[in-house]
């Protein structure tokens, strides 16, 4: 029985980072032996055990065999004859396929077991699949893209891995992914340091059109160079997404930043590079995209509102009071004030998410917050000091009062 530290903890340690989770592989043992040593088993499908003192996970070394579709279509073999190399060989990337073994006669020192060139790839900042088993699990494509979104643009994907992923896409392997799993990986990628690299990597590997056609269509949505020197709606969206990360915005704002221009992806080619009405047309696209991936309702609804009204953020100084009040009414802003915050944040990202506009002033955007504070300040008791029971009269009276207040604040 021998124990090895494996996976991301090894990768992070070798990169000089503090590992978040410690995972161990045990070679030459059995469930009965682990239980006899005080470990407790987690789950019934895989023999994974929790250490009685640290709570760290210890998994028995295993082989895997593809038996069906999807990331659950595997059978696993556990036995004392399974080697460390066999266990590591089933992992996704070479940088995640190394193990550390403590030297018994030299406390504090470790042996590195690297059968697949992980150390060299770490040094050269290359993401490379460990073995052809990568192609058996489509989730690994998403994980590859997410790792690059975490690590940065100085990391590259090995050419053979690019080709492998492209072939997986052509053969329909990615169609095995469930919407829930795609959303899980994408939502995590959106909060990485370099979220655009998630989509850039999928594009480079010729898989973006399969997984996210709504994003892919933005590549051919040409933009007017006057307003968007970056040239197309995809590059603009990626710059907007980058701004969400730079500004350290919350998840709802980041998701809204990603989808806010989806309407440009359905602009007829003969209308390009203009995108009239893309804000209104984009709402249905965002709704369908969100429902497909089972996006949480509040996140979806706020993204739809930001999509509908993000163009208003460019002309706050010219909006009339009625338009402003109708916007807040339509957004249900009193019941969900965070929708206004998300709209403001998308406005920030949109303003600076253009080539050469990264340092643009944001002062004009704060008028949205001023309008909303004024809108909220109008109280029923002030408008109807003697009370009112007619719903229509209440609605009309509050609307007029809010319009008057916003007009004065403009």
Q: CATH code at 243?
A: 1.10.3210
CATH number of the domain that residue 68 is part of: 3.30.460.10
Same-domain pairing of 131 and 218? no
Would you say residue 360 has pLDDT above 70? yes
First-to-last C-alpha distance (Å) of the chain: 75
- Tell me the two tokens of residue 230: 């970056």
| Alpha carbon distances (Å) from 156 to 188, 200, 238, 324 | 20, 11, 18, 46
Same-domain pairing of 93 and 234? no
- Choosing from 135, 152, 169, the residue where a domain stops is 135
- Choosing from 106, 135, 164, the residue where a domain stops is 135
pLDDT band at residue 261 using 50, 70 and 90 as cut-offs: very high
Mean pLDDT of the chain: 93
What is the per-residue pLDDT across 75-122, written as a single tens digit (0 to 9) for each? 677 788 899 999 999 999 999 999 999 877 676 678 999 999 999 999
Query: Which pLDDT does position 342 carry in this prediction?
Result: 98
Which backbone phi and psi does 387 adopt, to 5 degrees? 85, 165
Asked, for residue 175, whether it belongs to a domain, the answer is no
Query: Which pLDDT does position 395 carry in this prediction?
Result: 94
Q: Tell whether the torsion through CA atoms of 222, 144, 169 and 259 is positive or negative.
A: negative
Same-domain pairing of 218 and 113? no
Query: Which of 98, 68, 87, 117 has its CA nearest to residue 6?
Result: 98
The residue range of the domain holding 289 is 212-409
Query: Which pLDDT does position 80 carry in this prediction?
Result: 87
Same-domain pairing of 125 and 218? no
Same-domain pairing of 124 and 244? no
What mean pLDDT comes out for the span 346-368? 96
| Total number of domains in the chain | 2
Asked, for residue 191, whether it belongs to a domain, the answer is no
Question: Is the omega angle on the peptide bond into residue 229 within 30 degrees of 0, that is, cis?
Answer: no
What is the per-residue pLDDT across 268-284, written as a single tens digit (0 to 9) for each? 999 999 999 999 999 99
Asked, for residue 154, whether it belongs to a domain, the answer is no
pTM reported for the whole predicted model: 0.92
* % of the chain exceeding 70 in pLDDT: 96
- Choosing from 86, 104, 135, the residue where a domain stops is 135
Query: Which pLDDT does position 20 carry in this prediction?
Result: 82
Same-domain pairing of 332 and 219? yes
Same-domain pairing of 129 and 6? yes
pLDDT band at residue 203 using 50, 70 and 90 as cut-offs: very high
pLDDT band at residue 257 using 50, 70 and 90 as cut-offs: very high
Q: What's the CA gap between 222 and 273, in Å, rounded?
A: 5
Same-domain pairing of 256 and 109? no
Q: What's the CA gap between 232 and 223, in Å, rounded?
A: 5
Same-domain pairing of 261 and 396? yes
């Amino acid at each position: 029985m021998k124990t090895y530290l494996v996976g991301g903890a090894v990768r992070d340690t070798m990169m000089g980072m503090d590992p978040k989770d410690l995972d161990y592989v045990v070679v030459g043992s059995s469930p009965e032996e682990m239980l006899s040593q005080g470990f407790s088993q987690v789950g019934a499908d895989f023999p994974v055990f929790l250490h009685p003192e640290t709570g760290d996970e210890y998994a028995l070394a295993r082989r895997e065999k593809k038996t069906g579709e999807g990331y659950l279509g595997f059978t696993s073999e556990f036995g004392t004859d399974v080697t460390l190399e066999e266990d590591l060989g089933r992992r996704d990337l070479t940088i995640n396929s190394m193990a550390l073994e403590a030297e018994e006669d030299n406390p504090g020192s470790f042996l590195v077991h690297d059968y697949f060139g992980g150390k060299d790839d770490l040094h050269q900042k290359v993401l490379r699949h460990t073995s052809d088993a990568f192609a058996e699990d489509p989730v690994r494509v998403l994980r590859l893209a997410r790792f690059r979104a975490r690590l940065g643009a100085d990391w590259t994907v090995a050419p053979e891995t690019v080709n492998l992923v492209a072939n997986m896409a052509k053969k329909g392997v990615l169609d095995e992914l469930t919407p829930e799993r795609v959303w899980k990986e994408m939502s995590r990628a959106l909060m990485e340091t370099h979220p655009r690299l998630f989509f850039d990597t999928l594009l480079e590997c010729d898989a973006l059109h399969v997984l996210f056609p709504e994003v892919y269509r933005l590549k051919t949505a040409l933009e007017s160079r006057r307003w968007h020197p970056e040239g197309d709606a995809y590059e603009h969206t990626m710059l907007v997404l980058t701004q969400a990360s730079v500004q350290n915005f919350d998840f709802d704002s980041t998701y809204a930043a990603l989808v806010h221009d989806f309407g440009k992806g359905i602009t007829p080619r003969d209308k390009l590079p203009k995108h009239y009405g893309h804000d209104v047309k984009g709402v249905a696209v965002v709704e369908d995209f969100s429902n497909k991936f089972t996006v949480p309702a509040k996140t979806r609804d706020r993204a739809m509102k930001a999509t509908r009204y993000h163009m208003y953020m460019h002309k706050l100084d010219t909006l009339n009071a009625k338009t402003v009040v109708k916007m807040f009414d339509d957004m249900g802003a009193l019941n969900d004030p965070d929708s206004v915050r998300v709209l403001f944040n998308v406005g920030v990202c949109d303003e600076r998410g253009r080539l050469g506009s990264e340092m643009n002033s944001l002062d004009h955007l704060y008028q949205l917050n001023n309008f909303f504070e004024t809108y909220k300040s109008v109280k029923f008791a002030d408008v109807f000091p003697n009370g009112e029971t007619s719903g229509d009269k209440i609605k009309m009276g509050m609307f007029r009062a809010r319009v008057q207040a916003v007009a004065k604040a403009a």
